[in-house]
């Protein structure tokens, strides 16, 4: 499926009631009951809306349980398990995201970019949400690239980045957030992944150019020192997360959000104190990123740790 954003903006997605949530990213789709029984035309319309809006929201999906969530995900693509979760083959594709995981996810990131074939999309379902707080914010990485000043765009076009799944919680998080993570801040992954990605990824369906970055998994840029990499990443991230590139969603129980992981970053907002927050996610398998020169992502390491 090849996609023309300009013509889609005029035509809209067939058969869907779509209401924009923010100017440059995000839309709510109304009067659709998500399930594994949706016909091919409806799945295609949902996918088109996802490509156009980057993240789409569905209210009131209370009928979905874990099995229904997975069945719908299978209609959207090939579900994949979190490689660092230790889940055995044949286990559920559902990933539980509770309070501590929500605090850990409060740093801007694109899911699982420590993998060469990182996810195409994620489908997140709200089960228990705080009375106030605990929103999620997404950023449009295509808009961020398109609006870069020309010198920064040239720099981005010529950079590759090293992504890893190890996180320096002590350096990256404020004390109030770390305190709510509990033992998670000291947890070591069972596997270590390291991947080299082009910083500018050409979207395989839309042809748009996206910044493939994020504070959570990017460690350095090839050819730059760690210190210089930190400063350059800070500059690019400031452009990605400008308010006009973002949409913020206030969760209600039964909500479902689907985002194009190739064209967005996201973060949970860590402002809900000790209130319960429980969401479940199914991730859809993706492919290697391709840069503007045709070079693809390269898995450097995928080691089991002792």
What is the side-by-side strand order in the sheet with 136-140? Answer: 246-249, 136-140, 264-268
User: Phi and psi for 255 in degrees, rounded to 5?
Assistant: -70, 150
Catalytic, 239? Answer no
> Contact at 8 Å (CB) between 22 and 227?
no
Reference 63, options 71, 51, 55, 75; nearest CA is 71
Active-site residue identified among 81, 125, 127, 281: 281
d(CA 57, CA 61): 10
Active-site residue identified among 47, 69, 81, 111: 111
Catalytic, 109? Answer yes
Look-up: residue for tokens 């990123």? 289
Active-site residue identified among 53, 266, 267, 277: 266
Q: Which residues neighbour 158 within 8 Å (Cβ) at sequence distance 6 or greater?
A: none
Active-site residue identified among 52, 53, 69, 109: 109
Catalytic, 266? Answer yes
Helix residue spans in the chain (DSSP H): 5-11, 40-53, 66-76, 99-104, 141-146, 150-157, 169-172, 175-181, 226-240
d(CA 95, CA 80): 10
d(CA 179, CA 103): 10
Catalytic, 219? Answer no
| E strand spans, the chain | 17-20, 27-30, 55-58, 79-80, 95-97, 121-128, 136-140, 160-164, 191-198, 200-202, 209-211, 218-221, 246-249, 256-260, 264-268, 278-284, 298-304
Active-site residues: which are they? 109, 111, 266, 281
């Amino acid at each position: 499926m090849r996609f023309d954003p300009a013509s889609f903006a005029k035509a809209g997605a067939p058969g869907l009631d779509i209401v924009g949530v923010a100017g440059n990213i995000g839309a709510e789709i109304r009067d659709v009951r998500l399930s594994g029984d949706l016909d091919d035309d409806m799945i295609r319309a949902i996918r088109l809306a996802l490509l156009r809006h980057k993240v789409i929201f569905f209210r009131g999906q209370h009928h979905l349980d874990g099995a229904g969530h997975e069945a719908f995900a299978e209609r959207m693509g090939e579900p994949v398990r979190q490689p660092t979760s230790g889940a055995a083959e044949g286990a559920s594709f559902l990933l539980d995201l509770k309070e501590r995981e929500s605090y850990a996810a409060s740093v801007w990131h694109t899911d699982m970019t420590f993998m060469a074939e990182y996810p195409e999309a994620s489908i997140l379902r709200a089960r228990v949400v705080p009375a106030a707080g605990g929103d999620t914010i997404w950023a449009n990485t295509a808009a961020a690239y398109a609006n870069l000043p020309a010198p920064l765009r040239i720099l981005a076009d010529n950079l590759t980045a090293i992504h890893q799944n190890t996180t320096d919680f002590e350096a990256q998080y404020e004390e109030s957030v770390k305190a709510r993570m509990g033992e998670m801040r000291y947890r070591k992954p069972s596997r270590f992944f390291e991947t080299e990605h082009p910083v500018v990824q050409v979207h395989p369906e839309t042809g748009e150019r996206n910044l493939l970055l994020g504070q959570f998994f990017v460690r350095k840029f090839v050819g730059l020192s760690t210190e210089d990499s930190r400063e350059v990443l800070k500059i690019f991230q400031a452009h990605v997360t400008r308010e006009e590139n973002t949409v913020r969603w206030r969760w209600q129980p039964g909500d479902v959000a689907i985002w194009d992981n190739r064209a967005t970053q996201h973060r949970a907002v860590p402002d809900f104190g000790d209130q319960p927050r429980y969401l479940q996610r199914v991730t859809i398998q993706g492919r290697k990123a391709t840069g503007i020169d045709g070079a693809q992502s390269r898995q450097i390491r995928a080691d089991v740790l002792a």
